[in-house]
């Protein structure tokens, strides 16, 4: 976050460590003014940090989202179902959440693309990870 603020992003709220004495917890943090060139936008941040970059339109949003080596989860917040469905077709992520928090159904499929995720780990899809397909073709004489 320090590097992002040095590069021009601004912290709107959060960024403090709390809970001294009973562990250390980082407050949810919201940053504005982020750009695609910033490390905070290019690397996975495993913490409650949300950098926001303004975009001109859906085309730019999809292009920027796909321009990453990662592809675990993406979220779309919109009132326009056509835009949401178009983004679902074009985004290269294993999971897409529309207007909801990021938690897959336990019977669902937990997936990732590119350098993210470990494949299906829930329900029958998790079981399939421990199996191998073996096909044999025999032609009689």
What is the pTM (predicted TM-score) of this model? Answer: 0.73
Higher per-residue confidence, 43 vs 113 = 43
CATH architecture of 2-128: 3-Layer(aba) Sandwich (3.40)
Give dist(CA 109, CA 14) in Å, integer. Answer: 33
Please report the pLDDT score of residue 31 as a whole number.
97
Q: What is the pLDDT of residue 72?
A: 82
| Structure tokens, 76 | 């779309």
Rounded Cα–Cα distance for residues 41 and 85 (Å): 24
Please give the share of the chain, as a percent, with pLDDT higher than 90: 48
pLDDT for 136:
72
10, 31 Cβ separation under 8 angstroms? yes
Average pLDDT on 116-130 reads: 65
By C-alpha distance, which of 64, 97, 90 is closest to 51? Answer: 64
């Amino acid at each position: 976050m320090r590097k992002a603020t040095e590069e021009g992003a601004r912290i709107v709220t959060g960024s403090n460590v709390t809970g001294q004495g009973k562990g250390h917890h980082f407050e949810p943090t919201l940053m504005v003014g982020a750009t695609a060139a910033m490390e905070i936008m290019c690397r996975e941040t495993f913490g409650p940090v949300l950098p926001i970059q303004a975009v001109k339109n859906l085309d730019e949003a999809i292009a920027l989202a796909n321009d990453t080596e990662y592809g675990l989860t993406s979220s779309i917040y919109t009132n326009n179902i056509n835009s949401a469905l178009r983004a679902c077709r074009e985004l290269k992520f294993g999971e897409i959440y529309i207007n909801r928090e990021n938690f897959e159904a336990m019977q669902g499929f937990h997936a990732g693309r590119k350098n993210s995720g470990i494949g299906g780990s829930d329900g029958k899809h998790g079981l399939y990870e421990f199996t191998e397909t073996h096909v044999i073709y025999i032609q009689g004489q």
